[in-house]
Amino acid sequence: MLCCKKRARTRCKLPQTDTGATRAFAPAKINLTLHVTGQRDDGYHLLDSIVVFAQVGDRLWLTKGAGLNMDICGPFAAGVPADKRNLAWRAAELAGWQGHIRIEKNLPHGGGIGGGSADAGAVLRALGVTQNAVSLGADVPVCQRGQAARMRGVGDQIKGITTIAPFFAVLVNPGVHVATPDVFQLLDRKENSPLDPLPSTGAAWMDWLVSQRNDLQGPATQVAPAIVDVVQALGGTKHLLLARMSGSGSTCFGLYPTLPDAQAAAQSIAADHPDWWCVATTLS
């Protein structure tokens, strides 16, 4: 893993209460594909998406106690609410759990890689909640699972995938927040084809992925033109197999044959764009 730019870390307000805390990891969620196949009467869109998880993510500590409280630290802590607005808080409430939650925000939020849903999923996993928590958000059930899956419905139908091989990737975020509802609103065609039949062997996945889409990439680019720059920067790296946006953006990923290829690509993008968040990682 390689971070292209050192960000100032925000310190947690409370002393480290690691002893006795349950630790949880909230990996970045990557939509390798995201097809929008329809829209429900309530406005929510029907999705068909392959989701995998990175080795980079937020870290959480859950310490049981009276009442619910939270503090946030880490390079992306700024602007993250430490109250009921935080999905991790609502996940704890859903579980009927009380205590202190510390979140170390290592992932850019509003970036199409999980954000609060990743943290909520980690809380639910740590607390052993198995009920489908789509009421918290469309990305929460897949993050609750935290392993490679096909996501359908509005995000509530999750089926694990065992044949998928690990991918070597660079994740790049240009520092632009994208509001998911704005992106869906700009989607002019709601009824697009679902995913082609899934590959049955690990070796077939890469070619298959190249032939699939993220239907939100066009509309997200209208909201955040920087996405074009990110895809172009990935396109200029050696050994790139595929460059695509994750979720509703603005984070994009590039896939490479090996981890050293991904690390070299991350280094070259970092050199040209020191303000971007850029990480080489394995996706599985």
Which chain residues interact with ligand C5P by CB under 6 A?
44-45, 47, 137-139, 154-155, 180-181, 184
Cα atoms in the 13 Å half-sphere on the side-chain side of 139: 29
Nearer to ligand C5P, 99 or 155 (CB): 155
Nearest distance, CB of residue 13 and ligand C5P, angstroms: 27
140/48 Cα distance (integer angstroms) = 15
Q: Rounded to the nearest whole angstrom, what is the least distance from the CB of residue 231 to ligand C5P in the complex? A: 22
DSSP state of 72: E
Q: How far is the CB of 140 from ligand C5P (least distance, A)?
A: 8
119 tagged catalytic: no
Asked about 139 being catalytic, the answer comes back as yes
Query: Rounded CA gap, 29 and 44, in Å?
Result: 20
Cα dihedral 96→102→106→108 (10° resolution): 60
Residue 154 has which token pair? Answer: 């509005």
Q: Measured between alpha carbons, how far is 149 from 19 in angstroms, rounded to an integer?
A: 33
To the nearest whole angstrom, how small is the minimum distance from the Cβ of residue 10 to ligand C5P?
A: 25
> Of 119, 139, 215, 261, which is the active-site residue?
139
In the complex with ligand C5P, which residue's Cβ is closer, 223 or 278? 223
Four-residue CA torsion sign, 213, 159, 124, 40: positive
Q: Which is nearer to ligand C5P, 102 or 152 (CB)?
A: 152
* Half-sphere exposure for 5 (CA within 13 Å, toward CB): 20
Tokens linked to 167: 């991918």
Active-site residue identified among 29, 105, 119, 261: 29
Peptide bond into 193 cis (omega under 30): no
Nearer to ligand C5P, 26 or 73 (CB): 26
Minimal distance in Å, beta carbon 263 to ligand C5P? Answer: 32
Contact call for residues 117 and 133 (beta carbons, < 8 A): no
In terms of CB distance, is 153 or 175 closer to ligand C5P? 153
Indicate which residues carry an active-site annotation: 29, 139
